[in-house]
Structure 1
Amino acid sequence: MHKITLDAHRGLQGPYTMAAGLAAALVPGAAPELVAAHDIELRAVAPALNVPVRRSTLADRLPQQERILIPALLRTLRLANGLADFVRDHLDTAGALELRVVNTAEADPTDIELLTVLERRVPALTVVREESGPPHPGPHYTPGPELDRYRNEGFHHAMAEAGAALLPTLPQGGAQWWTLLHRTTTALAALEREDEARDLLDLARRVGDDPKNLATAAYATAMLLVRHHDPAKRDPGEAMEWIDRAVALAGSLTDPRERAFHLGFDLNGKALVEVRLGRFEAALALVEEAVALGERELAPAHPIHRLVLHANRAQLMAQAGRTDEALIGYGTAIAMDPGYPDYYLDRGNLLHKLGRTAEALADYESAMRLGPPFPEPYYNRAEIRFAAGDLDGARADLDRAVELDPGFGAAYVNRSGILAGLGEYEAARADAERGLAADPRNAHLLAVLGQVEAAQGRPAEALAAYDAALEADPELAAAWAGRGEVAFERGDHHRAIADLTRALKLGETAELLFNRAVARRAAGQAGQARQDLLRAMELAPDDEDIARALAEG
């Protein structure tokens, strides 16, 4: 077994100090096609390696002031999973590796997250963590390109730490101070440290008088109030006051292009507040205004700002049922930046909803191909594969979704149902219980658990699970149907008929009609049973079981 030792102290290189060392050790001996397949991840963690660019987005070619999209906190999990795929595939040919990592107590959270993913996902890798190691000075931050990297890549912990270190050293109210303050508050908000972000914004209002930056601070305050990770601390009413202030300040700017950019930004923010207040038409009107302003005053500059507005308008149009216009909007955003994966996912979801599954599949697969891996496109493709009867393909996609994010609860719901349908009851139980540990009142998981308990001969436990599912969601047809089947097996035919009738009111299927017919025959209701069978035959004319039951009278 090959062995390497790496130092993770963030004082050496900041975020991904350990990852950069690992990439430097493995990339020279890796297959070129494997390196190319993970170019985004490798360039993000080890820019000094100069890995050739295979995939890129519009942002990579724009000046810093036009790069307005800030990655979400989960961006680093995507990078970690892409790196885990790279390490796993490389070690499949290169052989097992023992990775000793020292100074983990001083590592940036990006390296700790990556180590956790590597330990979980790469069988040929043994990780030995050591909290201590050679001493190094703490991180030394200076304004400049490295802070741009933290912002652009979504290295929020480092950005927040840099802001805390540098802001007190800069003249308050100066251009450099304002830029760093905005970046720091954005990072704090992403880390769910909204109270600290609000304190900085309040400080900025006390010491600053520049209307452009005050508008940005007012916008940021409004976003804290509508996006706070604690729902109890959200306040769309107060957010509206702040966003109105931002709009007024932006509208007072004298430079026409500067005014158009900041006003469009703030109108888009006000639209989000309107959405939180349930006023979708007002939100759509605001985004329409922002789109028109951007195309009239800014084009062809600020393309990311403008494509985000087109995508947001498309999302609101989809919610309003204006699906043709929504598809055009998503198409516009994608055409402006074909290398950005997220809008393919959004358009794919709309196409899937419209029943255009081939086009939806193409969009999901584009999202998979264009960026570091994330679970949503696999989960969504699994739904299409399941509906088409491809259980193996659906299960593989759900396996991938859970591999990428073990906390992706919806994947456990769907996978447990597939496993139960395949008769793999212990695996289905494990998924249901894992999902219920995070979401104890998930009606779908409780219904799957009921199905498993019934199949394994525990009717009392099955009824308890179905009862819990119906308490959580009285409109869940699968739980009514499952409870009816258990009642029938226990000889309670009238209870079975009642439960199956409730299920049928929620969605008529040939299977449910057939099962109710069986229960009605057992209860002596032959005429009603025949009516159920006749209706079932209309829905499934080729079903041999229904035909046989009708022939038997």
Structure 2
Amino acid sequence: MTEERSHLSVQGEPPARWGAARLLTPPIDAHRRPRGPYTVAAALLRRLVPPLLGQAPELVAAHDIEILAAAPELAGIVPARRGTIDAELSDEERILVPAPRRTLRLANGIAEFVRDGVRPGRAIAVCNAAAADPTDLELLDVMTRRVPPATLTIMVYSGGPEPPPDTRGPDELWAAVDRCMREGFLHCAAELGERGLAATEPGGALWWRFAQRTATALGGLGRTEEARAIWDRVRLSSQDPKMHAAAAYGTAMLDARHPDPARRDLLRARAWMNAAIAISTLLPDPADRAFKLGFDRNGLALIELREGRLDAALALVESAIELAAGLGERHRPHRMVLLANRARLLAGLGRAKEALDDFGAAIALDPGFPDTYLERGNLLFKLGRHGAALADFEHAMRAGPPLPEAYYNRAELRSVRGDTEGALADLGRVIELDPGCLDAYINRAGLLAGQARDEEARADVEDGLRLSPGNPYLLTVLGQIETAAGRHAEAGAALDRAVESAPGLAAAWGNRGVLRYATGDLEGAVEDLTRAIDLSPQADLYGNRAVALRALGRTAEAEADDRRAARQS
């Protein structure tokens, strides 16, 4: 979430009418300067967690990751029941930076903890919201949406007292930046990292750590040019080959992973990655050289993959795995990433058994990392091993804070298995966790329309179209709904737009064929249904075309379609 607060009720001054008995905590000053990320969250958790440890220990245990991420001072009383191996690693081994979306997962987990742990009828007042960290703004947004007002009234105020200046020195700033990067608090890491760079000698060891973290945080936030400028400062300030190799890798990844695919420059990324590899081969320490060279080859594999050369990408990853074999027990996350990447490539090349073996080996290295379960579950789903896929999706759900992707994947599996109500429940959970998930609206609208729950489907279509105006999948569902309602002109307009914008979408042609049949255009119906069948031969399409052909008196063709439909059912 950015600094926008679409759901927050921002007021001017706190209301005098609220007495201390109703307020859950004293008014919370959300200004990010004294504490940084999750200032509001920590105040709430410090109030709620201690009594709930005795009253509802299972609730605290179910949210241990969220509690400790937002309020690390509670580590003395809240056991870390779940988690990845990151906590036990040295600084040089921690290569994984949480994605920006992790804070949404944390916010949903904290909101659920507050919702289930607060006695109804309480309230909080939060001031200095205009100066709050994005983690708190996101949390307040999620709590406003997900915690019923009858349980907790949330009032947010833009004004408030100005805190004292931040006088932290470089070492204290580094500790804060390091925590932010561990937890995925990228906005704060970038802000404090810039201060750390200004407070340290360019080219020195601490300056380098600030530079590396700050550039990485900026890249993760999509602030590509700011990140590039820091890597340029590294090149200008240092003659250390490790710094230059890392700066070349970081610059390459800015081009290879640009959030806008149209702005990715794979040619320039390859040039920078080749530079990184060339420098890494010159590192004097064998362990450093093996680790860094494997890291760089894995980066080059991403470029090969995005250029469609899966075999070349696989060869690079395998060479990186060979290098990692000489690292002993060190660099487990590095080896986990390499094994998972090889698994993805093997799956893409149709080598499913080997891919599953690699996913299993990656999971063994870090059983608490949910992403690998998700990916293995997806492969198992494609292989028709639904029970094993379900187990992986549900393991990913349990491994950490609420994970929308796991519920989305389980919804697809449930839909394929005919559990429509279960799929709808999962898609509802996805939308509750992430109202910006367009695919969840598309899939739920389609399922609802298939059950003739047209008004509910229409609501999802409208919500989805606000996120993605002109989306052909949503227009296809809208056309289906309008056809069922007898609003043929509106249905035709929606389906015409759908086939124009997505001529390869079989459902759009099939639904327009149904509409044309309903309006008496039998030849047009057969034409559209034939186009749909050419794109995606399915039993319902053959069955619908058979009806249209029979109405035209083309009985033999209709009977042939009936047989095709029966074979596919």
Q: TM-score per shorter chain, which class?
A: over 0.9
Match of 2:293 in 1: 263
Match of 1:78 in 2: 105
Match of 1:169 in 2: 199
Match of 2:6 in 1: none
Q: Is residue 419 from structure 1 mapped to residue 419 from structure 2 by the alignment?
A: no
Q: How far does residue 200 in structure 1 lie from its aligned partner after superposition?
A: 1.3
CA contact (8 A) 1:222 1:243 kept: yes
Match of 1:145 in 2: 175
Distance (Å, rounded) in 2 between the aligned partners of 1:145 and 1:166:
11
CA contact (8 A) 1:14 1:139 kept: no
Q: Deviations over 1:225-276 (max 9, x none)?
A: 1112233432111111111111111110111111111111111111112222
Distance (Å, rounded) in 2 between the aligned partners of 1:220 and 1:486:
53
Q: Secondary structure at the match of 1:101?
A: strand
Q: How far does residue 140 in structure 1 lie from its aligned partner after superposition?
A: 4.3
Alignment of 1:427-438 (within 5 A): 427-438=456-467
Distance (Å, rounded) in 2 between the aligned partners of 1:396 and 1:361:
15
Q: How far does residue 369 in structure 1 lie from its aligned partner after superposition?
A: 0.4
Evaluate the alpha carbon distance shift between residue 491 and residue 7 of structure 1 in structure 2; reply closer, same or farther with a 3 A threshold: same
Q: How far does residue 148 in structure 1 lie from its aligned partner after superposition?
A: 1.8
Q: Write the letter of the residue equivalent to 1:77.
A: L
Match of 1:551 in 2: none
Q: Write the letter of the residue equivalent to 1:415.
A: R
Match of 1:466 in 2: 495
Match of 2:396 in 1: 367
Greater mean alpha carbon deviation, residues 297-306 or residues 112-121? 297-306
Evaluate the alpha carbon distance shift between residue 270 and residue 421 of structure 1 in structure 2; reply closer, same or farther with a 3 A threshold: same
Q: Secondary structure at the match of 1:484?
A: helix
Q: Is residue 193 from structure 1 mapped to residue 223 from structure 2 by the alignment?
A: yes
Q: How far does residue 361 in structure 1 lie from its aligned partner after superposition?
A: 0.6
Q: Write the letter of the residue equivalent to 1:103.
A: N
Match of 1:181 in 2: 211
Match of 1:111 in 2: 136
Distance (Å, rounded) in 1 between the aligned partners of 2:186 and 2:560:
64
Alignment of 1:511-550 (within 5 A): 511-540=540-569
Q: Secondary structure at the match of 2:83?
A: coil
Q: Is residue 68 from structure 1 mapped to residue 98 from structure 2 by the alignment?
A: no
Q: Is residue 11 from structure 1 mapped to residue 36 from structure 2 by the alignment?
A: no
TM-score by length of structure 1 reads 0.94
Match of 2:318 in 1: 288
Q: Is residue 276 from structure 1 mapped to residue 306 from structure 2 by the alignment?
A: yes
Q: Secondary structure at the match of 2:125?
A: strand
Q: How far does residue 498 in structure 1 lie from its aligned partner after superposition?
A: 2.0
Segments of structure 2 that go 5 or more residues without pairing to the other structure are: 1-20
Q: How far does residue 139 in structure 1 lie from its aligned partner after superposition?
A: 4.0
Q: Write the letter of the residue equivalent to 2:43.
A: G
Q: How far does residue 134 in structure 1 lie from its aligned partner after superposition?
A: 2.2
Distance (Å, rounded) in 1 between the aligned partners of 2:425 and 2:270:
45
Match of 2:116 in 1: 89
Instruction: Please point out which of 133, 149, 152 is paired with 2:160.
Output: 133
Alignment of 1:150-161 (within 5 A): 150-161=180-191
Q: How far does residue 2 in structure 1 lie from its aligned partner after superposition?
A: 3.0
Q: Deviations over 1:472-525 (max 9, x none)?
A: 222322222211211111122222222222223334444333332322232233
Q: How far does residue 145 in structure 1 lie from its aligned partner after superposition?
A: 2.9
CA contact (8 A) 1:80 1:113 kept: yes
Q: Is residue 36 from structure 1 mapped to residue 36 from structure 2 by the alignment?
A: no
Q: How far does residue 217 in structure 1 lie from its aligned partner after superposition?
A: 0.6
Evaluate the alpha carbon distance shift between residue 168 and residue 532 of structure 1 in structure 2; reply closer, same or farther with a 3 A threshold: closer
Q: Deviations over 1:414-448 (max 9, x none)?
A: 00011112222122112112222222343221110
Distance (Å, rounded) in 1 between the aligned partners of 2:567 and 2:283:
68
Match of 2:14 in 1: none
CA contact (8 A) 1:513 1:533 kept: yes
CA contact (8 A) 1:493 1:523 kept: yes
Q: Is residue 99 from structure 1 mapped to residue 153 from structure 2 by the alignment?
A: no
Instruction: Please point out which of 8, 12, 26 is paired with 2:48.
Output: 26
Evaluate the alpha carbon distance shift between residue 48 and residue 282 of structure 1 in structure 2; reply closer, same or farther with a 3 A threshold: same
Evaluate the alpha carbon distance shift between residue 29 and residue 95 of structure 1 in structure 2; reply closer, same or farther with a 3 A threshold: farther
TM-score by length of structure 2 reads 0.91
Instruction: Please point out which of 351, 368, 378 is paired with 1:349.
Output: 378
Matched residue pairs, number?
537
Q: Write the letter of the residue equivalent to 1:411.
A: A
Q: Secondary structure at the match of 1:457?
A: coil
Q: Deviations over 1:268-320 (max 9, x none)?
A: 1111122222222111111100011001x202111111111111111111112
Q: Secondary structure at the match of 2:68?
A: helix
Distance (Å, rounded) in 2 between the aligned partners of 1:379 and 1:480:
26
Q: Write the letter of the residue equivalent to 2:100.
A: L
Alignment of 1:197-276 (within 5 A): 197-276=227-306
Distance (Å, rounded) in 1 between the aligned partners of 2:262 and 2:561:
50
Q: Is residue 490 from structure 1 mapped to residue 519 from structure 2 by the alignment?
A: yes
Q: Write the letter of the residue equivalent to 2:445.
A: S
